[in-house]
Amino acid sequence: MNLALKTVLKSSALVAALSAPLMAQAAPIPTNAQMDVEFEIPYIKASPYARPYVAIWIEDANRKPVRTIELWVGKDEWLKDLRSWWRKVGRYDRELVDAVTSATRTVGEYRFTWDGLDDSGQRVEQGEYTFYAESVREHGGRSVIRQKLNLADKAFKIDIKPAVEIGNVALTYKIK
């Protein structure tokens, strides 16, 4: 075998070896998996008190946003005040912002469910993810909480430590 042919074969083998992990995909989470989120806006004594703007989203192991679960904002001009979410998602996807935005909420406990789908409606793959919640108030503080998750075929419950602008948060991943 001549040197040129050996070089081509080695190059092809190297490309195949390097691209194999890229082509291998994990299985999606089970179709009956979901994550229930319990989220609290705490009472904060302040005058004047403004309702917080809140963004709740999931990122994959590569820190790429996969789903904005909740977005509570009064006016579009204040979206950028949710700095962490805005830098990752908001400024790049106007259609998504329009699709998920709802009104701000008062002090209290809220429950909602993430169905395990990404923003394009596809079931996410099993693996490592991070749950984020960000809350900011006009004339108030700003808090961001993060929680690593391993989404697979095992259920779990995680209680997340409160922050100044975010009360109790509980995540319950279920396989129904």
* Domains delineated in the chain: 30-175 (2.60.40.4070)
pLDDT of residue 140: 81
Percentage of the chain modeled with pLDDT above 70? 81
d(C-alpha 126, C-alpha 28), whole Å: 5
SS3 content of the chain, % helix, strand, coil (to 5): 25, 40, 35
pLDDT of residue 82: 85
Q: Note the pTM of the prediction, 2 decimals.
A: 0.82
pLDDT of residue 23: 47
Of the candidates 20, 88, 23, the one whose C-alpha atom is nearest the C-alpha of residue 56 is 88
pLDDT of residue 1: 57
What is the mean predicted confidence (pLDDT) over 61-67?
94
What is the mean predicted confidence (pLDDT) over 49-73?
92
Between CA 72 and CA 140, with CA 132 as vertex, the angle to 5 degrees is 55
Copy the structure tokens of residue 18.
């390097």
Q: How many helices (H) and strands (E) does the chain have?
A: 3, 9
pLDDT of residue 94: 67
Q: Which amino acid is at 78?
A: W
Under a CB-based contact definition with an 8 Å cutoff, are residues 175 and 33 in contact?
A: yes
- pLDDT exceeds cutoff 60 at 78: yes
d(C-alpha 128, C-alpha 149), whole Å: 6
